[in-house]
């Protein structure tokens, strides 16, 4: 009898993959809506551009590879990758940021390895790291969230800013014309404050931390947490990776805060700032690039949480999730190899 082996994700059919990916996309909607509320129409523009470009890019690659276009695109994996790139970039980032990131994610990270189920890195996170290293100014200039400054930029104004380009000179001119519109993320602001000799408590007295977490970011993380819990309820993902990520990050942050509360951020701020909930539920759980065994998923998630804390605390990149996930992706085969379950009826080797 002949058996057919398939790459991960191990789903029963392409139709099931289609439904799973679509449900995951729908579960991101609370977080996307929260980002649009706090950061304006630019956040929606980036998401729509990311999705459209990802689908178009994958269709072109499939055409060149002489692969079935409609059947492959219908799995919705390209749309999900584009969406994740769109929510990861700043709301007013220039249009070419999303274009370069999406092309890199689909062409290089996904299709160059053979398409869905064959890539070793999460495409959206690989693209994000490439963009962050290549274009640090554009990737770290965020619009001030609602309630934090003058950010009453509607759809037309956001389109103008995004498609006119955002070179360093343009960003400076934009700041001069609209004082207080752009700002660093809460994690970046805390790292900068610590570098200037301030304590954590002193850093949190700034207006951008009026709610204790950084205006907007708490609610954005709560929204992605809600979507993640829905995915768990629908059994779209298993709990091991997400809980391991959050628990290990919480434990590390708690220990650091207890040892030095003046220089180490508290655990709740780690959990509800930056991309924590988005990454823990929607990115780290990628079935293609994560560990597959139960113990492996727990180790994989814990490794991400520990790496995030180490990079956030001692490294130069305040959010750190993209780097942590890519490093964990590299370790996933190694983890699975050493924690693979014993086959029934066989003894473990000594």
- Tell me the average confidence (pLDDT) per consecutive run of 10 residues in the chain, 350 residues long: 43 65 95 91 94 94 86 87 95 92 94 83 95 90 61 70 61 46 69 80 70 78 96 94 97 94 87 93 93 93 96 87 95 88 53
Query: What DSSP string describes 247-315?
Result: HHHHHHHHHHHHH-TTTS--HHHHHTSTTHHHIIIIITT-TTTS--SHHHHHHHHHHHHHHHHHHHHHS
Helix 123-134 and helix 321-339, axial crossing angle in degrees, nearest 10: 140
What's the confidence (pLDDT) of residue 316? Answer: 82
Largest separation between any pair of C-alpha atoms in the chain = 72
What's the confidence (pLDDT) of residue 211? Answer: 60
Whole-prediction pTM:
0.85
Tell me which residue of 84, 78, 77 sits closest to 125, measured CA to CA. 84
Measure the CA–CA gap between 320 and 51, rounded to whole angstroms. Answer: 24
What's the confidence (pLDDT) of residue 186? Answer: 76
């Amino acid at each position: 009898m002949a058996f057919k082996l398939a790459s991960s994700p191990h789903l029963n059919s392409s139709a099931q993959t289609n439904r799973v990916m679509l449900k995951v996309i729908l579960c991101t909607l609370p977080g996307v809506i929260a980002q649009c509320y706090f950061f304006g129409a630019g956040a929606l523009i980036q998401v729509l551009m990311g999705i459209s470009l990802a689908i178009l890019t994958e269709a072109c690659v499939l055409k060149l590879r002489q692969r079935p276009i409609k059947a492959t695109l219908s799995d919705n994996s390209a749309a999900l990758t584009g969406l994740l790139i769109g929510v990861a970039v700043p709301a007013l980032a220039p249009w070419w940021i999303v274009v370069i990131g999406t092309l890199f994610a689909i062409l290089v990270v996904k299709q160059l390895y053979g398409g869905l189920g064959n890539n070793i890195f999460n495409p959206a996170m690989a693209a994000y790291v490439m963009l962050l290293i290549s274009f640090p100014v554009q990737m770290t200039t965020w619009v001030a969230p609602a309630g934090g400054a003058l950010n009453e930029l509607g759809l037309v104004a956001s389109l103008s800013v995004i498609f006119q380009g955002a070179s360093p000179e343009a960003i400076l001119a934009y700041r001069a014309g609209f004082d207080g519109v752009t700002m660093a993320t809460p994690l970046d602001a805390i790292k900068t404050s610590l570098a200037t000799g301030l304590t954590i408590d002193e850093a949190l007295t700034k207006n951008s931390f009026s709610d204790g977490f950084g205006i907007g970011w708490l609610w954005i993380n709560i929204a992605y947490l809600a979507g993640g819990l829905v995915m768990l309820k629908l059994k779209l993902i298993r709990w091991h990776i997400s809980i391991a990520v959050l628990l290990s990050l919480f434990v590390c942050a708690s220990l650091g805060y207890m040892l030095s509360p003046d220089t180490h951020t508290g655990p709740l701020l780690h959990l509800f700032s930056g991309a924590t909930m988005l990454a823990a539920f929607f990115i780290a759980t990628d079935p293609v690039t994560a560990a597959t065994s139960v113990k492996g998923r727990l180790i994989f998630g814990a490794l991400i949480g520990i790496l995030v804390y180490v990079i956030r605390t001692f490294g130069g990149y305040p959010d750190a999730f993209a780097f942590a996930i890519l490093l964990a992706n590299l370790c996933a085969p190694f983890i699975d190899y050493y924690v693979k379950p014993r086959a029934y009826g066989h003894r473990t080797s000594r």
